[in-house]
Amino acid sequence: MASKILIIGACGQIGTELTLALREKVGRDNVIASDIREGSEDLMNSGPFEIADATNYNQIEDLVIQHDIEEVYLMAAMLSATAEKFPMKGWDLNMSSLFHVLNLAKEGKIKKVFWPSSIAVFGPTTPKHDTPQTTVMEPTTVYGISKQAGERWCEYYFNKFGVDVRSIRYPGLISYKTLPGGGTTDYAVEIYHEALKNGKYTSFLNKDTELPMMFMDDAIRATISLMEAPSEKVKVRSSYNLSALNFTPDTLAKAIQKHIPEFEISYAPDFRQAIADSWPSSIDDSEARKDWGWRHDFDLEKMTSEMLEGIKEVYHV
């Protein structure tokens, strides 16, 4: 029998697609989706759903016991741009939810944990190009500090208590099924919607800001494949670098213009520019490729066609 999975923060940009993909794989009733709010119609109709607060240990423990859960994917968090506005709330949510799940695993109530980290763990003193797996990490955002601390705790719980926790440093993720939730790379999703709706877009990052990015399908495949890897292959227990494509707003606009020649982009950088400037422009993910066979599939052209088609279908634009 498939082990039962709990997804916390299932209604977000990643959680929605992860829930649908896991239900497809292991059966709808084996994946319990949970969040503090209801999600899209697709998600709500696809299987069991529970309202639960990731910062409330008792609520999460109850779900685990009631549904006989073996694996938890913790996707609830406050993202980079929002956490700069609400630093203490961001820190509390990001850290307390992680401790609750790690402690459930330490107590033997669950067997396996997925917790996402981010390229935000890096900072201005990190090598910007081909950022190595192990390098200087001095994050300058609340979000980055919480992710770096989280990585240290994951590794600690693995070394000290044998907790089987697995993690990926996601780059900016691009998808059309669910809107992004307050990150610095959200421009790379908004631009497609605006290109189709209005034929123009004002980017909050400047023209030449290169950042690592990935299409959601690749991110979901990576996540499931890391969770399925035999334990001995998962050598990094803090979080794996993961990479697919790197581009600037200018390059992305040019890729869209191949489909919509009249599309126009302009630039009005805001507070998110400083966050983006502190992050790497490309990532060396050779350890993920070597340890558990990671390969990306979507390049800029393939992703752009998929995004434009997907948005037309979902939003009827």
Ligand X SMILES: NC(=O)c1ccc[n+]([C@@H]2O[C@H](COP(=O)([O-])OP(=O)(O)OC[C@H]3O[C@@H](n4cnc5c(N)ncnc54)[C@H](O)[C@@H]3O)[C@@H](O)[C@H]2O)c1
Active site residues: 143
Binding mask of the shown chain, residues 78 to 97, with x at each position contacting ligand X by CB under 6 A? -x-------------x----
Task: Choose which of 5, 6, 7, 15 interacts with ligand X (CB under 6 A).
Answer: 15
Measured from the CB atom, the residue of 13 and 46 that comes closer to ligand X is 13
The pair phi, psi for residue 128, each rounded to 5°, is -80, -35
Check residue 219 and report its DSSP letter: H
Shortest separation between residue 190's beta carbon and ligand X, angstroms:
13
Please tell me the distance from the alpha carbon of residue 173 to that of residue 22, in angstroms, as a whole number.
Answer: 18
Segment lying near ligand X (by CB under 6 A), choices 70-78, 244-252, 269-277, 287-295: 70-78
The dihedral through the CA atoms of 313, 48, 186, 217 has a sign that is negative
Q: Does position 105 bind ligand X by CB under 6 A?
A: no
Q: Does position 137 bind ligand X by CB under 6 A?
A: no
Residues 113 to 132: which contact ligand X by CB under 6 A? 116, 118
Q: Does position 63 bind ligand X by CB under 6 A?
A: no
Which residues neighbour 33 within 8 Å (Cβ) at sequence distance 6 or greater?
7, 10, 11, 15, 19, 39, 43, 46, 47, 48, 49, 50
Measured from the CB atom, the residue of 17 and 194 that comes closer to ligand X is 17
Measured from the CB atom, the residue of 45 and 199 that comes closer to ligand X is 45
Shortest separation between residue 183's beta carbon and ligand X, angstroms:
5
Q: Name the maximum alpha-carbon separation found in the chain.
A: 58
Q: Does position 8 bind ligand X by CB under 6 A?
A: yes
Measured from the CB atom, the residue of 2 and 44 that comes closer to ligand X is 44
Q: Does position 104 bind ligand X by CB under 6 A?
A: no
Segment lying near ligand X (by CB under 6 A), choices 34-42, 132-140, 231-239, 272-280: 34-42
Measured from the CB atom, the residue of 180 and 280 that comes closer to ligand X is 180
Q: Does position 150 bind ligand X by CB under 6 A?
A: no
Task: Please name which of 72, 142, 118 lies closest in space to residue 238, comparing C-alpha atoms.
Answer: 118
Please tell me the distance from the alpha carbon of residue 232 to that of residue 315, in angstroms, as a whole number.
Answer: 44
Q: Does position 180 bind ligand X by CB under 6 A?
A: yes
Segment lying near ligand X (by CB under 6 A), choices 20-28, 61-69, 71-79, 294-302: 71-79
Q: Does position 170 bind ligand X by CB under 6 A?
A: yes
Please tell me the distance from the alpha carbon of residue 162 to that of residue 137, in angstroms, as a whole number.
Answer: 25
Q: Does position 75 bind ligand X by CB under 6 A?
A: yes
Which residues neighbour 303 within 8 Å (Cβ) at sequence distance 6 or greater?
174, 215, 245
Q: Which two tokens stand for residue 106?
A: 């330490």
Alpha helix ranges (H) inside the chain: 13-26, 41-44, 57-66, 80-85, 87-106, 142-161, 187-197, 216-228, 249-257, 272-277, 286-292, 300-315
Environment class of residue 316 by beta-carbon count within 10 Å: exposed (0-12), middle (13-18) or buried (19+)? exposed
Residues that bind ligand X (CB under 6 A): 8-9, 11-15, 35-37, 53-55, 75-77, 79, 93, 116, 118, 170, 172-173, 180-181, 183, 185
